[in-house]
Amino acid sequence: MTDAFEPRILAYCCRYCAYAAADLAGSMRLAYPPNVRIVQVPCTGRIDALFLLRAIEAGADGVYVAGCLEGECHFLEGNLRARKRVDFVKGVLGEIGLEPERVEMFNLSSAMGPRFAEIARDMTERIRRLGPSPLRTDDASGETALGRCA
């Protein structure tokens, strides 16, 4: 892909570690690309494989899950389960012909503001190199759950 596109990336961040690290990155005024949208979850163990698949289906170019360092999950094992689910989703993506690298799992602690920024940068770069998701629609069409409610 030679024409510059702006990756749309969703990041699921656990409240105790990754979200706090993101806040710290902000307090430290570290810069990272504005392509990442953070969704806070209480623990990455909350993340269903479906969240990752639906994000890709909705047109996200990349999705990542950021949780506590392994062995330090605030809820003990949630991040370990999350990793397995991320691996499962990578498998599904492979089966349907999408790059498994569009989905990833990262681990960091709440004190690692610079690492958060680095992850955001690295993932944005990775997706930029992979190119836009073939499922991405740039028009404003597409029913959202909100639209269905109305």
Partner 1 sequence: MIVADRKPLAEILSFVASCRRILIVGCKGCVTVCNVGGQKEVEILAASLRMARRLAGDPLEIGEALLERQCDPEYVAELRERVSSCDTVVSMACGVGPQFLAEAFPEQRVVPALNTTFFGGAVRHGVWEERCAGCGHCVLERFDGLCPIARCSKNLLNGPCGGSANGVCEVHPDTVCIWDRIVRRKTARGRLADLKAIVPPKDWRPAGHGGPRRRVREDLTRTS
Partner 2 sequence: MNRASLTGAVVVSGGGIAGIQASLDLAYAGYKVYLVERSPAIGGVMAQLDKTFPTNDCAMCIMSPKLVEVGRHPDIEILTLSEIRGIEGEPGSFRVTVEQKPRYIDLEKCIACGRCAGKCPKKVVDRFNRGLSQRRAAYVLYPQAVPLKYLIDEAECIYLQKKKCGACAKICPAGAVNFEDRARQLTLEAGAVIFSSGFEPFDPSAIDTLGYGRIPDVLTSLEFERILSASGPTRGHLKRPSDGAEPRKIAWLQCIGSRDINRSENFHCSSVCCMYAIKQAIIAKEHADPPLEGAIFYMDMRTHGKGFEDCYNQAREKHGIRFVRSRVHTVDPSPSGGGAILRYVGEDGLPSREEFDLVVLSIGLQSERPLRERLQELGIALTEGRFVRTDTFDPTATTRKGIYVCGALSGPKDIPQSVIEAEGAALRAGADLAPARHRLTSRPPVTAERDLRGEPPRVGVFVCHCGININGVVDVPAVRDYARSLPYVTYVTDNLYSCSQDTQNLIRAKIEEEGLNRVVIAACSPKTHEPLFQKTLADAGVNKYLLEFVNIRNQDSWVHMEDPPAATAKAKELLRMAVSKAVLLSPLAEEEIQILPRALVVGGGIAGMAAAKALSSQGYPVEIVEREAELGGQARFLHRTARGEEISSRLADLIREVETDPRITVHRHAELIQVEGFVGNFRSTIRQGTETKTVEHGVTFLATGAREHRPEEYLYGEDPRVITGLELDRRLRRKDPRLGELQRAVFIQCVGSREPSRPYCSRVCCTHTMISALELLDRNPQAQVVVLYRDIRTYGEREGLYLEARKRGVIFIRYDLEDKPRVRATPAGLVVEALDPILGRRIALGTDLLVLAAAVVPHESTELARFFKVPVNADGFFVEAHVKLNPAAFATEGVFLCGLAHYPKPIDESVAQAQAAAAAATVLLARGKLTAVGTTARVEPLFCSSCGVCLAVCPYQAPRFSEKGPFAGRAEINTALCKGCGLCVASCRSGAIQLQGFTDAQTIAMIEAAVSG
Q: Taking a C-beta distance cutoff of 8 angstroms, is the pair 60, 8 a contact?
A: yes
Nearer to partner 2, 16 or 64 (CB): 16
Residue 135 interacts with partner 1 (CB under 8 A)? Answer: yes
Single residue of 3, 7, 22, 88 touching partner 2 by CB under 8 A? 22
Rounded to a whole number of angstroms, the minimum distance from the CB of residue 129 to partner 2 is 20
- DSSP letters, 87-144, are HHHHHHHHHHTS-GGGEEEEE--TT-HHHHHHHHHHHHHHHHHH-S-TT---SS-S--
Residue 89 interacts with partner 2 (CB under 8 A)? Answer: no
* Phi and psi torsions of 130, nearest 5°: -70, -25
Q: Which own/partner pairs from 140-143 qualify as long-range (CB within 8 Å, at least 24 positions apart)? A: 142/58, 142/59
Single residue of 2, 3, 34, 96 touching partner 2 by CB under 8 A? 34
What are the residues facing 67 on neighbouring strands? 107
Q: Which residues bind partner 2 (CB under 8 A)?
A: 8, 10, 16, 19-20, 22-32, 34, 37-43, 45-48, 50-51, 54-55, 58-60, 72, 74-78, 81, 85, 109-111, 117, 140, 142, 144-147, 149-150
Q: Which residues bind partner 1 (CB under 8 A)?
A: 48-50, 53-54, 56-57, 92, 95-98, 134-135
